[in-house]
Structure 1
Amino acid sequence: MKRTASLFLVALFAGAITLGTYKLVFEKNIIAYTSQEQTPFLKTSNTPTNTANFGDADFTIAAEKTVNAVVHVKNMTVGKSNSISGFFYGFESNQRPQIGSGSGVIISADGYIVTNNHVIDKSEKLEVVLNNNKSYEAEIIGADSNSDIALLKIEVEEPLPYLIFGDSDGTRIGEWVLAVGNPFNLTSTVTAGIVSAKARSISSRTNQSFIQTDAAVNPGNSGGALVNTNGELIGINTAITSQTGSYVGYSFAVPSNIANKVVSDLLEFGRVQKGILGISAANVNSPFAQQEGLDEIDGVYVAGIEEGSGADDAGIEEGDIIKQVDNVKVRKFSELTGYLSAKRPGDIVNVAVERNGKSITTEVILKKQLTVQLPIMGLTVKDLSENDEKIYDTNKGVKITSVPERYNDYGLRDKVIVKVDDNDIDNIEDAKNQFSKISRYGRTSITLLGKNGERERIIFQ
């Protein structure tokens, strides 16, 4: 009995020593202090954001402001059911409504909403559901497929909560951000992450510039808000890249400076006004660029200058390396295009280039887009200059400056397109519009002018 009591006392004493040692040595290292100071919602684009460690960051104020300004956008389209009898006997196929889902951000108290173009594309009817479950029919004010931004309007009885645009150029890598949207039809979902990269290009076919974050974004988040810890809108969540179709660790947002400019253009002009520098950059991933060491250049290598462009007028030359535009350092082409996407024709930018080892800074007046690649055929055309009008003896039409390899044998380069079928072509907007209507399976007649005014017609089918 005495032996049992002794063993019990030894075990009790050992346990006390163990517990005391743990309390003294280990437990004090896992104490976390959370700041109780609240970040105010400020109407400014220059307010420093909270970049402290996660334990000190407070997202509650930004989240409360954002969730009520993010809406659910429902896109109803009409699809056709392809029945077997319709295929064999030509019966008119039945139409059935299909509903797509996305998000949007209220940007004014009277009901203007910004979202993605792909969220509202091909809609027959748009419904917007607020965070308080009130539902409204929405009108499309305008849309831009290039930036993937669209502007909607709902008619409301009372002022709505809204977000202000922040300065996306001022965001910093590592800064905390929140993504708010409606993934999988889950209303007002908030996720947190950091800015992983800026001026990220995710497609070789476009020169879009995105903010990359690791805040979770899933289907249904498109068109939702990316905000900083002050509750300012710094991006419109747009895309993920994933083999599964769901979030895998990174997402992409259209920077707020670009979205804000697109919205302003749509309201003022009805379409986007693009200010073009007028240069073409070397493809740094090409074998030629790698052989010449262009892939190692810190900046944008100017491979070509567009005739009559702002860059041409300012004296920028082929072989120059663009290092900075205004106060923004440029290391890659997407950084250059991202900054210029927020500019209009007539805006002046200071461009710093390196030429033969010397630094040169020059003012460039941005001009409207002079060239465009036409749908279906892929021809690159430009509006006629005064010199072109004299050479071709016309003040209408568009000049072909580049052709895809498959059309090399047609002798199209440097000729002027004046008609597509029976439709006159006055400028690049006309040409883009008419070529977008061409069917891949029909016949198209294109009327061309040569340098001496001779007229010819080519049939493509």
Structure 2
Amino acid sequence: MSRLVALKLLVAVLVLGVSAVATTNSYAHPAPDGFADLAESLLPSVVNIASTFEIKPRLGAQDGGPGVPPWFDPFGMFGGQGRGQQPRETKAGGSGFIIDETGIIITNHHVIDNADKVVVTLSDGTELEAEVLGADARTDIAVLKVDPDGLLPAVKLANSDLVRVGEWVIAVGNPFGLGGTVTAGIVSALGRDIGAGYYDDFIQTDAPINQGNSGGPLFNMAGEVIGINSVIISRGGGNVGIGFSIPSNLAQRVVADLREHGRVQRGWLGVGIQSVDEEIAASLGLDEAEGVMISNVMEGYPAEEAGVLSGDVILKFDDKDTPDTRTLLRAVSDTPAGQEVDMVVWRDGDTKTLQVTVGEMPDDIDEPSSVASNGKSDLEDDTLDALGMMIITMTDEMRSRFNIPDEASGVIVAQVRRSSDAATKGLRRGDLIVRIGGQAVEDLDDISQGIEKAKADDKLAVLIQINRGGNFRFVPIKLDDEEAEEPEE
């Protein structure tokens, strides 16, 4: 009897064990036996793209090159056009995929950028000239339209938010002009920021991707597109198992705008922004290094009209936390122009809620950049040796010497001491200090008062705002950084 009970218990344990294992693995997809059926069903929806570019010959003097008479250089041997030389064409290849059976195709912006002619080759060899409906350089996405005789096989864009690291994927494309190439791998990582732009959110995969795969699809095992293959990291130009795809969720909104408007409509505040590090957070009284700091407010744009000030730290935008610049940029750009949202900022040691009506980003606005200023300083003017820098008063002579616009204000960084915190933070000669401790700077007294106030408040660093070539940013400088070292040349 006891043996029977024991046997029943053993069977129960085995059953529970199998059940537990089955439950644990129910979310995991085992390695497939093969990809043949899936590849066969998807290949017809992937296309090859050939972009043609016209290269015009350089013109020399009188068509004969610099200083060469045309009768002496009839064939352009001396660098000129030559009388008989004609513009020539070059081609570049890429990939794309059909998302609408009427002939709508997605590819990368860089595949067709500045092309004079774009030809799409279908899987059956049919060639069709394509119209570019729209292209977006910021996300590297373009939408093409072809006019086929019948309906084309289209694929569906998946919800890329559901993609998980370790999932099996296949990439289909036109590497090195070899159309209809299928490779397989897994999702290696999500949310990759590789420095390509402010909208970086790449899916990383080890599925082999090579030159010519650009614009092609990355499929999940359900045959849905989770990404657009766009970038590889490689020393020699070939695959090393590190490829990046634009997530399908990002693509969906961009594609919708390009199809409807021919361009992407993005929300815009009209501010310069920077990340908040631990030193900036400490100088502002923030408990944690979080949020996005406003380094500059542009006149006449939504942020200024809402009362946003330089030095504010945005903690929330439309009820969403903004821990970093990338999160804020996406939140703002995804907000329709004209929509009013609440924005929580940190100002003067407390939170403040502002209502801002989001504007539309102008087409001619570029991503922020840093412009270095150069100049020499002879320290003959009023000077202040503080914060590891030699700072001088703004005068007409100094404006001319440092090439400073008339409308710019502040004081000038004339020299930066080696090994100082200011040097470590990247300050250099020619930078303008326009604010210190939240107060505008007009002269050297403002700098001295800002330092004394920070010390009186037991601050470890004082926050200054600099203007470098029209680009503004905040920099925390340690207060005990007064090393008497030789200044930088």
TM-score, normalising length: structure 2 = 0.57
Amino acid at match of 2:49: V
1:117 Cα deviation after fit = 1.5
Correspondence list, 1:344-359, <5 A: 344-347=336-339
Counterpart of 2:404 in 1: which secondary structure? Answer: helix
Residue equivalent to 1:271: 263
Q: Which residue of 1 aligns with 2:382?
A: none
Q: Give the unaligned 5+ runs of structure 1.
A: 1-49, 380-404, 415-461
Q: 1:452 — aligned with what?
A: none
Residue type of the partner of 2:199?
Q
Aligned equivalent of 1:68: 44
Residue 229 of structure 1: CA displacement? 2.9
Q: Quick check: 1:80–1:93 contact (8 Å CA) kept in 2?
A: no
Paired amino acid for 1:369: M
Equivalent position to 1:253, from 245, 252, 259? 245
Provide the secondary structure at the position in 2 that maps to 1:113: strand
Cα-to-partner distance string for 1:256-279 (whole Å, 9 max, x where unaligned): 233222222223223221112444
Residues 188-209 of structure 1 show CA distances to partners (whole Å, capped at 9, x for unaligned) of: 22333344444433237x3132
Aligned length: 335
Equivalent residue letter for 1:320: V
2:289 is aligned, of 283, 297, 300, to 297
CA distance in structure 1 between the partners assigned to 2:281 and 2:90 by the alignment? 48
Tell whether the 8 Å contact from 1:106 to 1:113 is kept in structure 2 after alignment: yes
SS at match of 2:77: helix
Per-residue CA distance 1:369-422 (angstroms, 9 max, x = gap): 2695579x999xxxxxxxxxxxxxxxxxxxxxxxxx9994343669xxxxxxxx
Shift of 1:73: 0.2
Shift of 1:141: 1.7
Between the aligned partners of 1:181 and 1:75, the Cα distance in structure 2 is 15
Query: Is the contact between residue 275 and residue 292 of structure 2 (CA under 8 Å) also seen in structure 1?
Result: no
Change (3 A) 1:175 1:374: closer
For 1:118, what is the secondary structure of its paired residue? helix
Tell whether the 8 Å contact from 1:199 to 1:338 is kept in structure 2 after alignment: no
* Aligned-partner Cα distance in 2 for 1:218–1:339: 32
Q: Residue 128 of structure 1: CA displacement?
A: 0.6
Q: Is the 8 A contact 1:51 1:174 kept in 2?
A: no
Q: Deviations over 1:271-313 (max 9, x none)?
A: 221112444332569x98699699x835544444555555556
Aligned partner (choices 203, 206, 214) of residue 212 of structure 1: 203
Equivalents in 2 of 1:127, 1:202: separation in Å?
Answer: 30
1:153 equivalenced with 2:148 (yes/no): no
Matching residue within 91, 109, 112 for 1:99: 91
Alignment CA distance shift 1:185-1:51 (3 Å): farther
Residue 203 of structure 1 aligns with which residue?
Answer: 195
Q: Distance in 2 between matches of 1:61 and 1:363?
A: 54
Kindly provide the amino acid, as one letter, of the partner of residue 204 in structure 2.
T
Q: Pick the aligned partner of 1:179 from 149, 171, 182.
A: 171
TM-score by length of 1: 0.60
Question: How far does the alpha carbon of each residue in 1:157-197 deviate from its partner, in whole angstroms, 9 at most, with x for none?
Answer: 21111122333344344444332211112222233334444
Aligned to 2:313: 320
**For residues 339 and 60 of structure 1, what CA distance do their matches in structure 2 show?**
40
RMSD after superposition: 4.2
Q: Give 1:147 deviation, angstroms.
A: 2.2
Measure how far apart 1:155 and its partner are. Answer: 0.6
Match of 2:406 in 1: 411
- Per-residue deviation, 1:331: 4.1
Q: 1:279 to 1:67 in 2, by over 3 A?
A: farther
Q: Is this contact kept in 2: 1:62–1:227, CA < 8 A?
A: no
For residues 77 and 170 of structure 1, what CA distance do their matches in structure 2 show? 39
Range that drifts further, 130-139 or 50-59: 50-59
Cα deviations by residue, 1:47-84 (Å, 9 ceiling, x for unpaired): xxx96254269866654443221110011222356775
Match of 2:456?
A: none
1:85 counterpart SS class: coil
For 1:377-396, list aligned pairs within 5 A.
Answer: none
| Structure 2 counterpart of 1:74, one-letter code | A
2:317–2:341 CA contact under 8 A, matched in 1:
no
Aligned CA distance change for structure 1 residues 244 and 330 (closer, same or farther; 3 Å): farther
Distance 1:104 1:125, change over 3 A: same
CA contact (8 A) 1:257 1:342 kept: no
- SS of 2:212's equivalent in the other structure is coil
SS at 1:282 equivalent: strand
2:31 alignment partner AA: G
Give the drift of 1:320.
2.6
Partner in structure 1 of residue 79 of structure 2: 87
Which of 101, 110, 116 is residue 118 of structure 1 equivalent to? Answer: 110
Per the alignment, residue 254 of structure 2 pairs with: 262
Structure 2 segments unaligned to the other structure (5+ residues): 1-25, 59-74, 372-399, 410-489
Q: Is the 8 A contact 2:203 2:246 kept in 1?
A: no
- Return the offset for 1:319: 3.9
How far off its partner does 1:107 sit?
1.2
Aligned-partner residue type, residue 211 of structure 1: F
Alpha-carbon shift at residue 113 of structure 1 (Å): 0.8
Q: Which residue of 2 aligns with 1:10?
A: none
Question: 1:95–1:347: structure 2 CA closer, same or farther, 3 Å change rule?
Answer: same
Shift of 1:150: 1.6
